[in-house]
Amino acid sequence: MSTDIPYTNTKEAVIAIKNLYKSFDENKVLNGIDLELHKGENVVVLGRSGSGKSVLIKIIAGLLKPDKGIVSVFQEQIDLLNFKELQKLRLRMGFSFQSGALYDGMNVRENLEFPLVRNQRKLGRKQVNDAVEQVLHDVGLLQTINQLPSELSGGQKKRIGIARTLILKPEIMFYDEPTGGIDPITCVEINNLINKVQQQYNTSSIIITHDLTCAKTTVDRIAILSEGKITKNGSFDEVFESEDPNAKAFYNYNFIAKK
Amino acid sequence: MENTNDIIHGEEINKPITKSILLFFSHLNEIQKFIFRFFREAFTPPYELKEIIRQCYTMGYLSLGIITLTGFITGIVFTKQSRQPPADFGATSWLPSLVSLALIRALAPLITALIAAGKIGSNIGAELGSMNVTEQIEAMEVSGTNPFNFLVVSRVLAITCTMPILMTYACFVGLMGSYLNINHNEQTSFTTFIHDAFGKITFLDIFASLFKSLLYGFTIGIAGSYLGYNAKQGTVGVGKAANTAVVVSMFLIFIEEILIVQVVNSMR
C-alpha cells in the first residue's frame, strides 16, 4: 500500500483533519486520516462500501465523536465545541444525505422552510416563500413545491435534499453518495448540480462516492480511502496514473469512466 | 473433571447474565440522562408552540373516537356487572356512587392510559424510530435545528397535557354509559344520577386522578420518545421501538398506579 502523498494548496483550509481515528467496538473504521479542504475546492473521497467515507463526514459535521485526532472547521476544533457553538458552526455547513433524508410528514415547501424559519426567526412570510422558490428553481424542481416526499423519485429527493441545505447558504457542502442508487441520466444532472452549486454559492465541498463518473465530473482533487487511511491524494490524473493499487482497482472496474 | 466442567459451565451462564445486568443499568443511566435533558430543554427557548399544538391535536383530538367507545362500553359493562351484589340487598341506589368512584379513582385514568400507551406510545416510538433510521433526525441536527426540542419535548409535553383532558372525557362518557344502564333498569332521573354519582367524590379523588393522568402521559411520552429516538437496526429497530414503547409504558403505568394508590389511600 502506498503512503500518503503530501498535497499543497495555497488557499485557506476550511477543513483540516489530522491523525483521525474512529472505531465501533472492535471495528477500526478510520485509522489515522489526514485531509484538508481548501476554500472553493471540491474534494472527492473515493472508497469501497464500508470503508468509512460516511463516518468521516459525519465526524466533520459533529454527528459522531472521533476517538482520537483533530478535526477543525473554519479553525474551530469540532469536538471542543458545546452544543450551541456547534449548531452555530453547522449553519455554515450543508449536508446532503444519501437518501435525501426529507421529513416524511412535511411537503417539499415545509421541508425547505423548516431550517430557514428556525434559524432566521425574523424573516417574513414573503421572504421565506421567495427563498424556498429560489432554491427550488436552482435545483430545477419548482413544480414539486407542494408534493410529499413519498411522491418524489429518488433523484428528486436527493435534489430537494440539496436544496434544503442550500437555503441556509452554506460555505461547505458534504455530499454523501450523491449518485448512489439512481439512473445514469439523473446522475449526470446531479453531477452538474454539484458543479453549479460550487459556482453559484461559492461552496467548498467534500463528495463521498464510489462512482468514478461522479468523481471525474465534479472533482478538483481526489482522496482514496482504504482500510481507514487516505492512500492517495491528488488530481484525478495524478491519482489514476499512479501505481496505487486501490486507485488502479477503481479505475479498472469502472467501465464508464474508463471509456 | 466434574469440577472443571462446572466452572466452565458456570462462566458460560454468568457471562450473559453479567452483560444483561450491565446493559440494564446502562439503559437506566441513559433514560435518566434523557429525562434530565427533557426538563432542561423544555424550559429553554426557542419554544415549539406550533408543533406542541399540532401534536395535541394528533394525540388528543384524533384519540377521542376510541376513548368514547371504550369509556362508554366500560361504563355500561361495569354498571351491569356490579348490579347484582347491591341488588341482593335492595341497594341499587348505591350504583351511581359505586360506578363514579370506580371510574374517577381508577378505571378512567387506567383505561385512558392503556389506550394511549397502545395508540400514542407506539406511534411516537415508530415515528421517531423511522426518522432516526432514515437519517431525518441527523438532517435536523446538521441544519442548525435542535431535533430533541422539536421532536421529543413537543411530543412529551403534548401527551402530558392531553392525558388529563382525555381522562376527564373518558370519565364523562363512562358515566353516560352507566346512566344509560341505570336509567333503563331503575328509571333514575339524570339529576338524581349526577347527584348520587358525585355525592361521594372528594377533591382528593379528582386531584389524584388528574395527577395520575399527567404522570401516565409523561411516562408514555418519555418511553416512546426514548425508544424511538435511540432506535437502531433499520426497520427491525423501528418495530422493536414501537412494540417496546407499549410494553414498557404499560408496565410502568401499573407500577405507578400501585404506588399512587398506596399514597392516596394513606392520605384519606
Is A187 part of a structural domain of the chain? yes
Amino acid at A81: L
Domain span holding position B91:
48-267
- Rg of chain B on CA atoms, in Å: 23
CA–CA separation, A108 and A147 (whole Å)? 6
Q: Note whether B109 and B25 are same-domain residues.
A: no
| Rounded CA separation A70/A182 (Å) | 35
| B71 touches B170 (CB < 8 A) | yes
For residue A98, which residues of chain B lie inside 8 Å, CB to CB? 135
Q: Are residues B96 and B205 in the same domain?
A: yes
Chain B hits for A93, Cβ within 8 Å: 142
The pLDDT value recorded for residue A128 is: 95
Q: Residue B60 gets which letter from DSSP?
A: T
| CATH number (domain holding residue A139) | 3.40.50.300
- Indicate whether B1 and B116 sit together in one domain: no
In a shared domain, residues B106 and B26? no
Q: Are residues B63 and B186 in the same domain?
A: yes
Cβ–Cβ below 8 Å for B139 and A97: yes
Number of domains forming the structure of chain B: 2
Domains: count for chain A = 1
- Residue A197: inside a domain: yes
Residues B155 and B108 in one domain: yes
Residue A135 lies in a domain: yes
pLDDT 10s per residue in chain A (259 long)? Answer: 334 445 556 678 899 999 999 999 889 999 999 999 999 999 999 988 888 999 999 999 999 999 999 999 999 999 999 988 999 999 999 999 988 899 999 999 999 999 999 888 888 999 999 999 999 999 999 999 999 999 999 999 999 999 999 999 999 999 999 988 888 888 888 999 999 999 999 999 999 988 888 888 888 899 999 888 999 888 888 888 888 888 888 777 765 554 5
CB contact under 8 A, A119 and B143: yes
Burial category of B9 from C-beta neighbours within 10 Å (exposed 0-12, middle 13-18, buried 19 and up) = exposed
DSSP 8-state code for residue B80:
H
Tell me whether residue A136 is in a domain: yes
Q: Which of A90, A104, A118 sits opposite B142 (nearest CB)?
A: A90
Is A117 inside a domain boundary? yes
For residue A124, tell me if it sits in a domain: yes
* CB of B30 less than 8 A from some CB of A: no
Q: Can you give the pLDDT at residue A135? A: 94
Indicate whether B56 and B34 sit together in one domain: no
In this structure, are B17 and B82 located in the same domain? no
Q: What's CA B118's distance to the chain center, in Å?
A: 8
ipTM beyond 0.85? yes
**Continuous segment of H or E residues that includes residue A14:** strand A13-24
What is each CA distance from B10 to A19, B3, B7, B17, B18, in whole angstroms? 44, 10, 5, 11, 12
User: If you measure CA to CA, which chain A residue comes closest to B134?
Assistant: A101
For every one of its 268 residues, what pLDDT tens digit does chain B have, with 9 covering 90 and above? 444 444 445 555 566 788 888 888 988 999 999 999 999 999 998 899 999 999 999 999 999 999 999 999 999 999 999 999 998 988 889 999 999 999 999 999 999 999 999 999 999 999 999 999 999 999 999 998 899 999 999 999 999 999 999 999 999 999 999 999 999 999 999 999 999 999 999 999 999 999 999 999 999 999 999 999 999 878 899 999 999 999 999 999 999 999 999 999 998 8
Q: Which of B134, B140, B144 sits opposite A99 (nearest CB)?
A: B134
Are B84 and B196 in the same domain?
yes
Closest Cβ opposite residue A90 in set B131, B136, B144: B144
CA-CA-CA-CA torsion for B83, B86, B87, B89, nearest 10 degrees? 170
Which of A63, A94, A104 faces B141 most closely, judged by CB atoms? A63
Question: Which cell goes with A68?
Answer: 482520537
Q: What is the pLDDT of residue A5?
A: 47
Complete edge-to-edge strand list for the sheet that includes strand A76-77: A27-38, A13-24, A68-73, A76-77
Q: Is A164 in Cβ contact with B143 (below 8 Å)?
A: yes
Q: Are A225 and A205 in contact (CB under 8 A)?
A: no
Domain co-membership, B134 together with B148: yes
Name the amino acid, one letter, at A119. N
Last residue of a domain, one of B28, B44, B60: B44
The answer to whether residue A8 is domain-embedded is no
Distance (Å) from the alpha carbon of A144 to chain B's nearest alpha carbon: 20
Beta pairing partners, A229: A226
Q: What is the reported pLDDT for A49?
A: 84
The answer to whether position A2 is within a domain reads: no
Interchain contact, A63 vs B142, CB within 8 Å:
yes
**The domain containing residue A229 runs over which residues?**
13-258
Q: Are residues B31 and B145 in the same domain?
A: no
Residue A183's pLDDT is what? 86
pLDDT of residue B6: 47
DSSP-based three-state secondary structure for A18: strand
Helices (H), B91-153: 95-102, 108-116, 122-133, 136-142, 147
Residues A185, A167: Cα–Cα separation, whole Å: 25
CA pair distance A27, A48, nearest whole angstrom: 16
Contact between B137 and B148 under an 8 Å Cβ cutoff? The reply is no
B81/B176 same-domain check? yes
